């Protein structure tokens, strides 16, 4: 439930109950508040009036005024104020940056996605992120003072203070270059989180894990990283490292935390080198490219190309070992392959499903492809920012507004 400051006049619990109801209700009346919250009429009206005084709710013209009511006393109608503010979700990937500006309810106001140089220094990366935030905000015509909450997803473990631990090669410090501190003045609530954790939030709220209490959202394109939900609770860890992919460096038959895009590339080249795939064939010719496009291989596999099917089957065996480890560690009901690669990954999943039961003693989890595509982390970041606005920023805003009126 929303945490409401004690200074909000009428009882904290009743104001919080009305505010929670208002987020999902759209237009509503005091009678509807009473039915949904079990508050008495006088308590419900007092709580509504408190939120009206704080500018969190707006009273709409009554039904008679808009010509929709013919007799009797028209009920007062209320709605969340349209000027509460905005939220921002950021997917700060290693090679891309996506910024989404949205209202606190359901509407996206701006979305910008750009490629970034993965060799940027921490200072340059931080400047790039801040510049992208400014550009996205300018696109909406809104001001920084209106930002209620920001959530940033990074490819690194993140502790509860938004900081990442040191990495042997400096990767985590570079991908999360002090973002919590850099964004402190941008919003009342700033959260920096692991990108796979945000993918899990997106899958649970609008993807393949709706209604599921035990699942892993596995980001699988460039590197493996899992967002883990057990018994309906997101797992985090002391340093935010639950689901960190370095474990796969030590798994025979996997050997690396690099994801499915690299696995497909390596299998194409290995199959050409061994003579299993002809170098002058449609798949074999890809081996000479600087980077093998995984979508080309997967599309050909889906169309029945035997060489592409061979490569997909080999990668499926690797994926089955990855999922087997996750299944043994967390006992999920589902493992959802997330990221841009998920859009065409079905040939690999089909091969993995055939092998998966042999990889663990527990019942094998259902293996699914995400439908949220390359924006899965962005969607999770926006959902997290909206929740932070609802539970923390808007109640604090109400307190400030009431204090100013006193």
Same domain, 183 and 153: yes
Residue 291 within a domain: yes
- Domain with 315, as residue range(s), is 208-371
Q: What are the tens digits of pLDDT across the range 155-189?
A: 999 999 999 999 888 889 999 999 999 999 999 99
Residue 227 within a domain: yes
Lookup result for tokens 């509860």: 160
pLDDT tens for each residue of the chain, 406 residues long = 555 554 554 467 888 888 889 998 889 998 899 999 888 999 989 989 989 988 899 999 865 555 555 555 678 899 999 889 999 999 999 899 999 999 999 899 999 999 999 999 999 999 999 999 999 999 999 999 999 999 999 999 999 999 999 988 888 999 999 999 999 999 999 999 999 999 999 999 999 999 999 999 999 877 888 999 999 999 999 999 998 877 777 676 675 667 888 889 889 999 999 999 988 888 888 888 888 888 999 999 999 999 999 999 999 999 999 999 999 999 999 999 999 889 999 999 999 999 999 999 999 999 999 999 999 999 999 999 999 999 999 888 888 877 776 5
Cβ atoms < 10 Å from Cβ of 255:
12
Residue 10 has a pLDDT of 47
Q: Indicate which CATH number applies to the domain containing 29.
A: 1.10.10.10
Same domain, 67 and 104: no
Residue 153 within a domain: yes
Residue 223's SS3 state is strand
Same domain, 263 and 362: yes
Same domain, 259 and 320: yes
CB 251 within 8 A of CB 263: no
Same domain, 215 and 358: yes
CB 217 within 8 A of CB 209: yes
Same domain, 212 and 292: yes
Residue 3 within a domain: no
Between helix 41-53 and helix 30-37 the angle, nearest 10°, is: 120
Lookup result for tokens 């609802």: 390
How many structural domains compose the chain? 3
Longest dimension (CA), the chain: 85
Same domain, 326 and 288: yes
In the listed set 59, 82, 105, which residue is the last one of a domain according to the structure? Answer: 82
In the listed set 24, 51, 82, which residue is the last one of a domain according to the structure? Answer: 82
What pTM value is reported for the model? 0.89
- What is d(CA 385, CA 202) in angstroms, rounded to the nearest whole number? 12
HSE value, Cβ hemisphere, 13 Å, CA-based, for 352: 25
Same domain, 188 and 243: no
Rounding to the nearest 10 degrees, give the CA dihedral for residues 296, 197, 153, 263.
Answer: -30
Same domain, 93 and 139: yes
CB 46 within 8 A of CB 12: no
Residue 2 has a pLDDT of 58
Residue 246 has a pLDDT of 75
Residue 179's SS3 state is helix
Residue 289 within a domain: yes
In the listed set 82, 108, 133, which residue is the last one of a domain according to the structure? Answer: 82
Q: Indicate which CATH number applies to the domain containing 314.
A: 3.30.420.40
Same domain, 381 and 366: no
Same domain, 307 and 219: yes
Residue 401 within a domain: no
Residue 273 within a domain: yes
Same domain, 98 and 73: no
Residue 117 within a domain: yes
């Amino acid at each position: 439930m929303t945490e409401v400051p004690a200074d909000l006049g009428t009882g904290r619990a009743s104001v919080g109950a009305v505010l929670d109801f208002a987020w999902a209700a759209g237009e509503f009346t005091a009678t509807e508040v009473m039915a949904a919250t079990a508050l008495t009429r006088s308590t419900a009206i007092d709580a509504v009036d408190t939120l009206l005084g704080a500018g969190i709710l707006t009273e709409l013209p009554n039904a008679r005024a808009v010509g929709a009511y013919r007799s009797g006393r028209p009920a007062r109608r209320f709605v969340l104020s349209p000027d509460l503010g905005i939220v921002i979700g950021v997917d700060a990937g290693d090679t891309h940056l996506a910024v989404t500006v949205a209202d606190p309810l359901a509407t996206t106001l701006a979305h910008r996605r750009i490629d970034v140089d993965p060799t940027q220094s921490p200072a340059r990366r931080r400047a790039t992120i801040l510049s992208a935030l400014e550009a996205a905000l300018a696109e909406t015509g809104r001001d920084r003072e209106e930002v209620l909450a920001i959530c940033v997803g990074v490819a690194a473990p993140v502790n509860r203070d938004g900081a990442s631990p040191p990495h042997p090669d400096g990767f985590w410090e570079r991908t999360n270059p002090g973002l919590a501190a850099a964004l402190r003045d941008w919003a009342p609530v700033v959260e920096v989180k692991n990108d796979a954790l945000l993918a899990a939030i997106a899958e649970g709220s609008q993807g393949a894990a709706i209604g599921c209490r035990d699942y892993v959202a596995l980001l699988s394109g460039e590197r493996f990283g899992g967002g883990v939900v057990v018994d309906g609770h997101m797992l985090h860890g002391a340093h935010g490292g639950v689901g960190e992919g370095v474990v796969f460096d030590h798994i025979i038959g996997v050997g690396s935390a690099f994801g499915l895009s690299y696995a497909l590339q390596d299998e194409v080249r290995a199959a050409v080198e061994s003579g299993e795939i002809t170098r002058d064939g449609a798949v074999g010719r890809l081996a000479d490219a600087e980077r093998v496009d995984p979508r080309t291989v997967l599309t050909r596999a889906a169309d029945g190309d035997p060489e592409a099917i061979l490569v997909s089957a080999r990668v499926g065996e690797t994926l089955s070992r990855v999922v087997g480890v996750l299944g043994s560690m967390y006992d999920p009901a589902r493992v959802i392959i997330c990221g841009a690669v998920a859009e065409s990954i079905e040939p690999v999943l089909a091969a993995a499903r055939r092998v998966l039961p042999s990889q663990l003693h527990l019942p094998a989890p259902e293996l699914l492809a995400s439908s949220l595509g390359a924006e899965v982390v962005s969607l999770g970041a926006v959902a997290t920012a909206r929740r932070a606005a609802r539970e923390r920023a808007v109640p604090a805003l109400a307190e400030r507004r009431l204090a100013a009126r006193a």
